[in-house]
Amino acid sequence: MSERPRSSTVLPRAAGSDAERQLEGRAEVLEAARRSHSELEQVLSHWRWRRRLLRRPELVPELLAQEEALTEALERVRRRAALESWAEDTPVLREARKLLARRERLTRLARRRLGAWGRAHPEVSLEEALTRLEDQVRRPESWALKPGEVLVFEDDTWRRPGPGLATVPTTWELPPRLVMGLGILSALCFLLLLLVPARAEPAVAAFFVLTALAPMSTRLLRSGRLRLTSERLLWDPLFGALQGVRLGSIPDGGVRLESSEELFVEGDRVLRARSVKGATAVAVLVELHRQPPLRGAARSGVRLERMALFPAKLGRRRGFCVLGPQGLSFIPEGKGPQALRALTGEPTSLRKFDSDLVLDALRWLPEAEFDDCVMRVVEATGGAAWTRVDSRHLPGASARGRIRIEHAGMTLTGRVPWDRQETVERLLRDWPR
């Protein structure tokens, strides 16, 4: 009787030890995997997970190096447990199930962290998610241009675009809700100043001034620098890490406006730029440079100089004139989305931009491709195209930057900005008069 209790307490231990011996070292593989999975889960669960992962560069490679052996060990445990009908509380079987549950949690966590840079599809495996996550963390964006990379556009909160860059509106549009809120706030301030005692007026005035300044301060704190190159779109916020996305990785529908000043771009990474001046214009430039015909065209670093773009009128219609050495094209105003669709072949959700932005961006193309694209825009927008030989330039009406050109009883007039007058004069020298 004294031996029976003793033998019954030893049997489960013996069964667990026997199971571990039958696995021929797989239990040690499971134990090593448990440690590496636990450490990586703790790192990725922290709110400063990027910095922690950078400080532990060995975690992901170590876990990935265990994948093949771990998969084989888990499969061996499963087969043995089914073949020999292991008890549910067998230690090695219990550890294997805990490890599988931890891997599920780690997979979801890695997918969520990967979503900070781009699409994290639900079907992405743990190995693929960690590989991509490791690459993103170890490959930080750089504001400096890479070899062969050409600057297309640059802007920040405090200055206008530099010379030679595409013209983008730099005015801020106040949201209607903000304007209405400031109006209501001003009315309340006036009423309270009439009702409160004189000694409380400074406090009331100070409170309302601070409340009115809060939206402007928020706008300033969310501002930053934006740069579009031939390869990437970069956003360097005043506070926060540099964000970047490769133009070639942006899919259809990957560029959208969250508001009139907030740009969201999704590709190999996610870029969210707030308080962007001319956010719609920037979105248009990204759409143009991420796909043909402008995809990669800026790599040459050369913009077409033998053309001029300026506001014009054809009869009573307002629009834009593209003047070249062999003729001119007229595109009516208000046709920005149609012009963009003529080049990309896809409709766009972007609004409130005009075709001059699209036409100016085409200057990165060679002359023959530029002319072909302009004709597509003309046809899509109901514009007009005149050849030089069939038109007549009236120099007497071209004083002070104004030009006048006639063709088949129609007259085009335009006012050329001062920085383009020399180019226009040079182009019109060979026109019939």
| Residue 243: closest CA among 257, 226, 256 | 226
Instruction: Name the domain count of the chain.
Output: 3
Cα separation, 422 vs 427, whole angstroms: 9
Secondary structure element (H or E) that encloses residue 213, with its range: helix 201-221
Domain assignment of residue 101, yes or no = yes
Q: Do 132 and 164 belong to one domain?
A: no
Instruction: Report mean pLDDT in 10-residue bins for the chain, 433 residues.
Output: 41 47 72 94 93 93 94 89 85 91 95 75 86 85 92 68 41 55 68 70 68 59 85 90 91 90 88 88 96 94 94 96 96 97 94 95 96 97 95 76 91 92 90 85
For residue 394, what are the CA distances in angstroms to 93, 152, 307, 407, 413? 93, 36, 19, 11, 10
Q: Which residues contact 364 (CB under 8 A, 6 or more apart)?
A: 152, 294, 297, 298, 300, 302, 303, 304
Cα separation, 156 vs 275, whole angstroms: 10
Q: Do 76 and 112 belong to one domain?
A: yes
pLDDT score recorded for residue 172: 45
Q: Do 180 and 221 belong to one domain?
A: yes
| pTM listed for this prediction | 0.72
pLDDT score recorded for residue 139: 80
Q: What is the CATH number of the domain that holds 371?
A: 2.30.29
With beta carbons less than 8 A apart as the criterion, state whether 255 and 265 touch: yes
pLDDT score recorded for residue 274: 86
Choosing from 138, 166, 183, the residue where a domain stops is: 138
Q: Do 280 and 318 belong to one domain?
A: no
Q: Which domain holds residue 325?
A: 302-428
Choosing from 138, 172, 188, the residue where a domain stops is: 138
Cα separation, 270 vs 349, whole angstroms: 19
pLDDT score recorded for residue 33: 94
Q: Do 333 and 291 belong to one domain?
A: no
Rg from Cα positions in the chain: 33
Q: Do 65 and 167 belong to one domain?
A: no
Specify burial of residue 423 (Cβ count, 10 A radius: 0-12, 13-18, 19+): middle
Q: Do 164 and 291 belong to one domain?
A: yes
Q: Which residues contact 299 (CB under 8 A, 6 or more apart)?
A: 148, 149, 150, 230
Q: Do 176 and 279 belong to one domain?
A: yes
Specify burial of residue 362 (Cβ count, 10 A radius: 0-12, 13-18, 19+): buried
**CA triple 158-160-166, angle to 5 deg:** 145
Domain assignment of residue 75, yes or no = yes
Domain assignment of residue 143, yes or no = no
For residue 232, what are the β-bridge partners?
246
Cα separation, 325 vs 306, whole angstroms: 7
Cα separation, 357 vs 367, whole angstroms: 18
Strands 243-246 vs 255-259: parallel, antiparallel or unpaired: unpaired
Return the exposure string of 27-59: e unless at least 16 CB atoms fall within 10 Å of the residue's CB, then b: bebbebbbebbeebbebbeeeebbeebeeeeeb
Q: Which residues contact 249 (CB under 8 A, 6 or more apart)?
A: 118, 267, 268, 269
Q: Do 156 and 122 belong to one domain?
A: no
| Residue 182: closest CA among 172, 174, 173 | 174
Tokens in use for 42?
């703790």
